[in-house]
Structure 1
Amino acid sequence: MLELANVSAGYGTFQALFDVSLQVKAGEAVAVIGPNGAGKTTLLRVISKLIDIEKGDITMEGASLRDVAPFKVIEMGISHVPEHRRLFPRLTVEENLRMGAYIPSARAHFRDRLDFVYSLFPRMKERRDQLAGTMSGGEQQMCAIGRGLMSGPKLLLLDEPSAGLAPVIVQQVFELVQRIREEGYTVLIVEQNIQQVLRVVDRAYLLEVGRIKLSGKAQDLLASEEIRKAYIGL
């Protein structure tokens, strides 16, 4: 479904990604793991076309994204749930969800998509008239993921969904990721909580200083002595 081939990118004179290649197949959940500053968030921004690539190519279902405008990416089936959630704090939960369904193909199915999101996140239905900025961090993360699902994406990008949340809420977030997977969505998730994320994905890539250092099945990386010592602390 998604393929990055030798992608390099950065910010001005600072290069953040070096010849990164990865694949995400339809129906898979794939994680990109690694330390702070490794380039994980940059990677998702490159896929969403928020940052232009300097070299290489990105294809979605065989179509190159290289010359696609950022606002067209969602129409190609890619939805990005950004780091720190980025909700509209002065809008209600339901108004935030409506913002996720702004493309014409999603507007036509707004009510069905809303019912689906509320079935996944019953708490959001209870809070639908509450201002998003007044909710807890965990509830805001549910709303952000729900907003990302409102467009009916083929590929859902999740950037650090557990960041800044209490441990008990982190567990709930990963349970939600598992439920989204069970609904048949293809997911690419960037996450620092390596032990948790490797339990809910099929494969993973280890990104260090802008380069892919390791890749493989999640269970193999979870059992890797290098990963356990360097990132899990075991």
Structure 2
Amino acid sequence: MLELKSIDAGYGAFQALFDVNLNVKAGEAVGVIGPNGAGKTTLMRVISGLIRPTRGSIGMEGVDVLATPPHRIVGLGIAHVPENRRLFPRLTVEDNLKMGAFMPEARAKYAERLEVVYDLFPRMKERRAQLAGTMSGGEQQMCAIGRALMSDPKLLLLDEPSAGLAPVVVQQVFELVKRIRSGGLTVLIVEQNVQQVLRVVDRAYLLEAGSIRASGTSAEMLANDTVKQAYLGV
């Protein structure tokens, strides 16, 4: 479904990604793990068009993502839940969800998608008239994921969904990822919480200093000595 080949990317003179190759098949959940500053958020921004790579190619179901204007990439079926959620704090929950359905194709299915989101997140239905900025961190994360789902994506990009959340809420967020997956949605998730994310993904890549250092199934990554020593405390 998604294929990245030989991606270099960065900010001005600073290079954050070096020759990154990565693929995600339809129906899979794939993780990208690694320390803070490894380039994980840059990787997500490159896929969703927020920044353009300096080298390489990105294909989504055979379509050249880099030839697609950034504002049209969501129309290819890619929805991005950014780090720190990036909600509109002074808009209501429902207005934030509406923002996720701004593409003409999504507008036509607005009521249907809203029901899907409210079914997945009953608390969002309860809080639909509340200002998004007044909710707890966990509720805001639900709203951010719901907003992304409003576009009826084929691929959901989740950037550090557990960041800044209490351990019990982190557990809830990963349970939600499992539920989203069970609906057949393909997921690419970037996460520092290695132990948790390897429980919900099929495969993972280890990104360190902007380069892919290892990849494999969840079981292989849990057994990988580098991963065990650096991220699992074993």
Query: Normalised by the size of structure 1, how large is the TM-score?
Result: 0.99
Give the whole-Å Cα distance in 2 for the aligned partners of 1:151 and 1:65: 17
Q: How many residues align?
A: 234
Partner of 1:173: 173
Give the whole-Å Cα distance in 1 for the aligned partners of 2:116 and 2:223: 36
SS at match of 1:85: coil
Partner of 1:126: 126
1:215-226 matches, cutoff 5 A: 215-226=215-226
Deviates more, 1:215-224 or 1:83-92: 215-224
Letter in 2 for 1:198: L
Residue identity over aligned pairs, in percent, reads 71
Asked if 2 retains the 8 angstrom alpha-carbon contact of 1:157 and 1:188, the reply is yes
Partner of 1:95: 95
Partner of 1:85: 85
Deviation of 1:13 after TM superposition, in Å, equals 0.3
Asked if 2 retains the 8 angstrom alpha-carbon contact of 1:7 and 1:17, the reply is yes
Partner of 1:211: 211
Partner of 2:192: 192
Q: Which runs of 5+ in 1 are unaligned?
A: none
Letter in 2 for 1:46: V
SS at match of 1:53: coil
Asked if 2 retains the 8 angstrom alpha-carbon contact of 1:6 and 1:56, the reply is yes
1:58-69 matches, cutoff 5 A: 58-69=58-69
**CA-based RMSD:** 0.6
Deviation of 1:67 after TM superposition, in Å, equals 2.0
Give the whole-Å Cα distance in 2 for the aligned partners of 1:100 and 1:63: 22
1:1-234 matches, cutoff 5 A: 1-234=1-234
Name segments (4+ residues, structure 1) moved above 4 Å. Answer: none
SS at match of 1:66: helix
Deviation of 1:220 after TM superposition, in Å, equals 1.2
Post-superposition CA distance 1:30-53 (Å, at most 9, x none): 000000000000000000111111
Give the whole-Å Cα distance in 1 for the aligned partners of 2:222 and 2:175: 18
Give the whole-Å Cα distance in 2 for the aligned partners of 1:190 and 1:117: 22
Deviation of 1:160 after TM superposition, in Å, equals 0.2
Give the whole-Å Cα distance in 1 for the aligned partners of 2:5 and 2:84: 28
Deviates more, 1:217-226 or 1:201-210: 217-226
Asked if 2 retains the 8 angstrom alpha-carbon contact of 1:199 and 1:219, the reply is no
Post-superposition CA distance 1:62-105 (Å, at most 9, x none): 11112211101001110000000000001110110010001011
